[in-house]
């Protein structure tokens, strides 16, 4: 099986992918953008792709959401990965030696209190793993990277300090996507795209009331422009019910009766790593 994931080497996406798909029969394809992963799935270069869709601190990754529609892909699984940020160095050293800390902007933002106390300069890179690789290649003992322990192992770096993020509750949610819809037995989540039949006051509230009335919990709501007219939106909804659940089927029927366009983007289960 061919699987694409977001690189470079040592990313959280790589960790999620390698821990989710296990076995020696996986043909891994590393891509350098979310859209590259999704495009590879659409073109049939790979069978499946894994991309991040939401972080508990930074929120929804809109590029992934838009890409699902752009390439007409389906979600067949969800992965939740705890994110622990660590301070990595090229060799053993002490905190007092560190003068610069390198990483991607969101990771540095999540460790602002730590770097403030260290009184160090920060430098932005395009990913945590690229920062880690730059630290390794620098061979300096006064610079460090904020990245995962997975990156430390992948790049043979020293973990100087563990769990340096300001907020201990940090998770990233990934979705497993494919070109055709594949539903596991007894799925407990369903992702829907609801496009309202017209733009009017309270339309989202009315849509949400359908799920509330049927006692269906919505675990994620995201609005995205229809790209047809300024101020018009379509809604991604993730419901805590399988698509064949009686209440879910009723909700979809009601929405369609109200002439809203409803597309099922996948029904799946969650894997907590």
Say if residues 81 and 56 touch (Cβ distance below 8 Å): no
Nearest-10 crossing angle of helices 246-257, 203-213? 150
Handedness of CA 150, 156, 159, 164 (dihedral sign): negative
Kindly tell me if the per-residue pLDDT of 198 is higher than 90: no
Read off the pLDDT band of 96 (50, 70, 90): very high
DSSP string spanning the chain? -EEEEE-STT-HHHHHHHHHS-STT-EEEEESSHHHHHHHHHHTSSSEEEEEEEETTTEE-HHHHHHHHHTT-EEEEEEEEE---EEEESS---GGG--EEEE-HHHHHHTHHHHHHHT-EEEE-SSHHHHHHHHHHHT-SSEEEEE-HHHHHHHT-EEEES---S-S--EEEEEEEESS----SS--EEEEEEE-SS--TTHHHHHHHHHHHTTPPEEEEEEEE-SSSTT-EEEEEEESS-TTSHHHHHHHHHHHHTT-EEEEEEEE-EEE-
Residue-level pLDDT at 226 = 79
Kindly tell me if the per-residue pLDDT of 231 is higher than 80: no
Residue-level pLDDT at 127 = 85
Q: What is the mean pLDDT of residues 242-262?
A: 95
Kindly tell me if the per-residue pLDDT of 199 is higher than 80: no
Residue-level pLDDT at 216 = 97
- Give the tens place of pLDDT for each residue, 98-148: 999 999 888 898 899 999 999 999 999 988 999 999 999 998 999 999 999
Residue-level pLDDT at 105 = 86
Read off the pLDDT band of 7 (50, 70, 90): confident
Residue-level pLDDT at 40 = 97
Residue-level pLDDT at 230 = 79
Which residue has 């979809």 as its token pair? 252
Say if residues 247 and 228 touch (Cβ distance below 8 Å): no
Query: Whole-prediction pTM value?
Result: 0.86
Other beta carbons within 10 Å of 182: 15
Read off the pLDDT band of 264 (50, 70, 90): very high
Mean pLDDT (the chain) is 92
Kindly tell me if the per-residue pLDDT of 228 is higher than 80: no
Kindly tell me if the per-residue pLDDT of 229 is higher than 80: no
- Give the tens place of pLDDT for each residue, 9-56: 888 999 999 999 987 789 999 998 899 999 999 999 999 999 999 988
């Amino acid at each position: 099986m061919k699987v694409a994931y977001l690189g470079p080497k040592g990313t959280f996406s790589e960790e999620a992918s390698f821990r989710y798909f296990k076995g020696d029969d996986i043909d891994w394809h590393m891509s350098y953008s979310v859209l590259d992963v999704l495009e590879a799935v659409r073109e049939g270069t790979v069978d499946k792709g894994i991309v991040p869709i939401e972080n508990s601190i930074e929120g929804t990754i809109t590029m992934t959401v838009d890409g699902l529609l752009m390439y007409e892909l389906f979600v067949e699984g969800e992965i939740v990965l705890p994110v622990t940020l660590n301070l990595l160095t090229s060799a053993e050293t002490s905190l007092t030696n560190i003068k610069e800390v390198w990483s991607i902007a969101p990771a540095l933002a999540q460790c602002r209190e730590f770097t403030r106390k260290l009184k160090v300069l920060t430098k932005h890179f395009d990913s945590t793993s690229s920062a880690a690789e730059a630290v390794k290649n620098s061979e300096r003992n006064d610079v460090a990277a904020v990245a995962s322990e997975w990156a430390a192992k992948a790049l043979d770096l020293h973990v100087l300090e563990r769990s340096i993020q300001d907020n201990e509750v940090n998770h990233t949610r990934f979705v497993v996507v494919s070109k055709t819809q594949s539903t596991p037995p007894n799925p407990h989540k369903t992702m829907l795209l609801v496009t309202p039949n017209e733009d009017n006051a309270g339309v989202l509230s009315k849509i949400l009331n359908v799920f509330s009335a049927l006692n269906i919990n919505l675990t994620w709501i995201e609005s995205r422009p229809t790209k047809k007219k300024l101020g018009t939106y379509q809604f991604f909804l993730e419901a805590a019910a399988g698509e064949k659940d009686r209440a879910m089927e009723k909700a979809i029927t009601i929405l369609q009766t109200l002439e809203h366009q409803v597309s099922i983007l996948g029904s799946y289960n969650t894997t907590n790593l």
